[in-house]
Structure 1
Amino acid sequence: MNASEVRLGAPAKMSGGAIQENWAFDALIVDGPYAGTLGLVLRTDAPSGVSLSRSRAEEHALLTAAFAAGVTVPEPLAVDPEGSVIGKPSYLMRRASGNANPRTLARDPALDPHRSAITETLGHELARIHTIHPPRPDLDFLGSDMSPPAHRRIAEFLEQLDALPHPYPVIEWAVRWLERNAPTRPASVLGHGDFRCGNLMVDATESPQVTAVLDWEFASWSDPLEDIGWLCARCWRFGADARTVGGIGEFDDFRRGYEAETGRTLDWAELPYWEVLATVRWAIIALHQGERHLSGREFSMELALTARKAAEMEYDLLAQIRSIDEAA
């Protein structure tokens, strides 16, 4: 930070972060460009994680690219890829103000007058992420495979299902449906990979606004509709099912913001396919989260309960695919 002295306050573990740990603290910076009191977050590895999660150094690089592209993200400040400071890899970023609690964002009636504006802003934010295109030497860890993202996801799903100790016929059937209906477009943009209610921070003051897009650990080169399908899938509406964009707002508001930022439209009729893909993906993640607990690697009631969500996703998959097939 180009300072002669930095005094750190006591860290406090932040809530959430089932895959990574986040620690908040204040720093008194004596001089230099950041002189003063600075709210910070240290992000590091949890005791056990998910194999497809990006490393902390990679996540820091993604945050840096997004910050440069004008996405509303916490400013990345430093990275320790080897873990030489605290014994495991970590990175440091500014602490954003606001609330990322998904149930608050989806259900708080105080936000109702502002939902249209917030949802339109989310369209702008995701569109800015999608302005980042391959190739990018600073993001070379994302690889050079530009094959159709749906095909890559399906291959990942099959591998992840095979790694589970029990079969899940409904999920396997849904993966087969995805395979038979998969779009063939190559990857073209940076996908956030987890752009949803819960990773979006909103400052719910007199004039609520989006203050941070968080958790970049699942980013990859992708199709723009994958992120949008993930955001709009029913599993991320937190009970506010009538508001299709993450339980926060209406799709028309999101689309207006997205298209205003990009100056182009997408094949929106294809969105239901990506919502099915999102539901399959979350079901498999939930099952693997449960295995972290059941295997004895990490005792956690939260992880154990997350696995129970898979049954709900199976029901959603049956309903979603039936609706799509009947409309065809």
Structure 2
Amino acid sequence: MARPPFPPSPHPGQHPMARPMLSDEARATVEEALRAHVAPNARLTGISRLSGGACQQNLLLTLADGNGDPLPPHVLRADAATSLPMSLRRRQEEPVMRAAAAAGVPTPAPLALLESVPRPGRDAVLMPWVEGEAVGARIIASDSLAEARKDLPEALARALARIHSVTPDDHPELLPNAADDPVDVAMNGLRVLTEGLCAMRPALSLAVRWLEDHLPADRTPVLVHGDFRVGNFLVSPRGLEAVLDWEFAHWGAAGEDLGWIMVRDWRFSRPELPVGGLCGRETFLRAWENHAGRTIDRADVRFWEVYGNVRWAAGCHFQTMRVLAGGERNLELLAISRRAVEMEVEALRLIDRAT
């Protein structure tokens, strides 16, 4: 369902000689779940790999009933062979998606959590297929989405406010570390992520030191999506269809999501529009404040925007390490690392403007 912020492979799917995407046992488990949650006579007629998915494997399932008539397609979102630091496994992500859907966030509500799918030791979430465009460059530039783009900032701000309405007080068991200070947790995580990189990347070292000297005031924990950006939601001519990819969800400060969507890499062909190539910062922040029913300090947002650029620069380097370590054979992951320098320069630019 979700795609990374660069064009997908023109030839999704598998080579005919590649290992089957589902073992026989996993296929039987999936078909049993389809019969329980979709239709009593549902059967699996096809499986294809959806392009993208840096931290998970997304499979499109085509279905038919007992008469051979097509049923609505579904998606199997499975654990990948390797994952990034701090990312959730599907067993952890599934209840987060349920809580978000219950809060009014447009996101596919999980139908079932399937164990040992696609392989033993890995799990998968079965969910409905949602039609829409996820490729960021197309969302920003496609003529067919021109009308949808006009209302998209408002819709995204509303969805984000609903995500942030989920709190540890209402869902104490949803995620760990509910009592921890969200800023301390974020900075500790960033130090771990950048450890070993700062010596080689002086821009990252400088930016981390600046962040430590400019910590935000708001430390109220709420549900944070953790990767809310263009490329992680679906858009159709009707507007926002679904928020995707919850593997980085955690208890955090709302500003973290607000700064993340402003990261340089998500603007595509519209670098002059900081919020995902869609609008300016103030337009989006005011819309979020209206739906959230509270204000946010702009200095806090600046901190989180710098933080986001540093985090993604480090993340770009880690994507390459996953390939070099031998756990993944994915040219897209290998290519991501070249983007790191763009975020490093953007972080320095933001710091310069703040001084």
1:225-253, Cα deviation, whole Å (9 max, x unpaired): 11010011222111311222111234444
Measure, in 1, the Cα distance between the counterparts of 2:267 and 2:55.
Answer: 20
CA contact (8 A) 2:95 2:174 kept: no
Give distance in 2, aligned partners of 1:163 and 1:291.
Answer: 12
- Residue 51 of structure 1: CA displacement? 2.5
CA–CA distance in structure 1, aligned partners of residues 118 and 323 of structure 2: 28
**How many angstroms does 1:119 deviate by?**
1.1
Q: Which one of the candidate residues 104, 110, 127 is aligned to 1:76?
A: 110
Mapped contact 1:229–1:278 kept (Cα < 8 A): yes
Consecutive unaligned residues of structure 1, counting only runs of 5 or more, are none
What's the secondary structure of 1:124's corresponding residue? Answer: helix
Question: In the alignment, which residue of structure 1 is the partner of 2:339?
Answer: 309
Contact 2:133 2:234 in 1 (8 A): yes
TM-score, normalised with respect to structure 2: 0.82
* Aligned counterparts of 1:104 and 1:84: Cα–Cα separation in 2: 32
Indicate the residue corresponding to 1:118 in structure 2. 152
Greater displacement, 179-188 / 92-101: 179-188
Alpha-carbon distance in structure 2 between the residues aligned to 1:114 and 1:137: 33
Partner of residue 8, structure 1: 44
Aligned twin of 1:185: 218
Q: TM-score normalized by structure 1?
A: 0.89
Tell me, in whole angstroms, the C-alpha distance in 1 between the residues paired with 2:65 and 2:255. Answer: 42
1:158 matched to which residue of 2? Answer: 191
Indicate if the aligned counterparts of 2:55 and 2:247 stay in contact, CA closer than 8 A: no
1:167 maps to what in 2? 200
Distance, in Å, in 1 between the alignment partners of 2:92 and 2:176 is: 9
CA separation of 1:268 and 1:109: change in aligned 2, threshold 3 A? farther
Could you tell me which residue of structure 1 aligns to residue 92 of structure 2? 58
Aligned residues of 2:87 and 2:248 also touching (Cα < 8 A):
yes
Q: 8 Å contact 2:96–2:174 — kept in the other structure?
A: no
AA partner of residue 98 (structure 2)? T
Aligned 1:1-328 pairs, distance under 5 A: 1=36, 3-28=39-64, 37-80=71-114, 82-83=115-116, 86-87=119-120, 88-137=122-171, 139-147=173-181, 149-162=182-195, 167-204=200-237, 208-325=238-355
3-state secondary structure, aligned to 1:146? coil
Partners of 1:180 and 1:155 in 2: CA distance = 14
Distance in 2 (alpha carbons) for counterparts of 1:136 and 1:230: 25
How many percent identity over aligned positions?
Answer: 35
2:141 maps to a residue whose letter is: R
Instruction: State the Cα distance separating 1:136 from its structure 2 match.
Output: 4.4
Q: Deviations over 1:198-230 (max 9, x none)?
A: 0010013xxx31000000000111111110100
1:11-35 per-position Cα deviation (integer Å, ceiling 9, x unaligned): 11001112211001133467xxxx9
Pick closer, same or farther for the CA change 1:84–1:310 going to 2, 3 Å: closer
Q: Distance in 2 between matches of 1:216 and 1:257?
A: 23
Distance 1:258 1:42 in 2: 32
Cα deviations by residue, 1:111-143 (Å, 9 ceiling, x for unpaired)? 344423111111111011011011344744332
Q: Which amino acid aligns with 1:185?
A: D
Distance 1:236 1:258 in 2: 19
Report the Cα distance in structure 2 between the residues aligned to 1:44 and 1:128, rounded to whole angstroms.
Answer: 26
The answer to whether the 8 Å contact 1:83/1:89 transfers is yes
Report if the CA contact (8 A) 2:226-2:246 is conserved.
Answer: yes
Query: Aligned residues, how many?
Result: 316
- Write out per-residue CA displacement over residues 71-121 of structure 1, whole angstroms, 9 at most, x where no aligned residue: 0001210002x4167532111011111101000112224434442311111
Secondary structure at the counterpart of residue 225 of structure 1: helix
Offset of 1:47 from its aligned partner? Answer: 2.2
Query: The residue matched to 2:273 in structure 1 has which SS?
Result: coil
Residues 115 and 249 of structure 1 are in contact (CA less than 8 Å); yes or no, is this contact kept in structure 2? no
Distance 1:169 1:251, change over 3 A: closer
Which AA in structure 1 matches 2:349?
Answer: A
1:263 deviates by 2.4
Instruction: Write the distance in 2 (CA, Å) between the matches of 1:285 and 1:201.
Output: 23
Letter in 2 for 1:47: A
Letter matched to residue 307 of structure 1: S
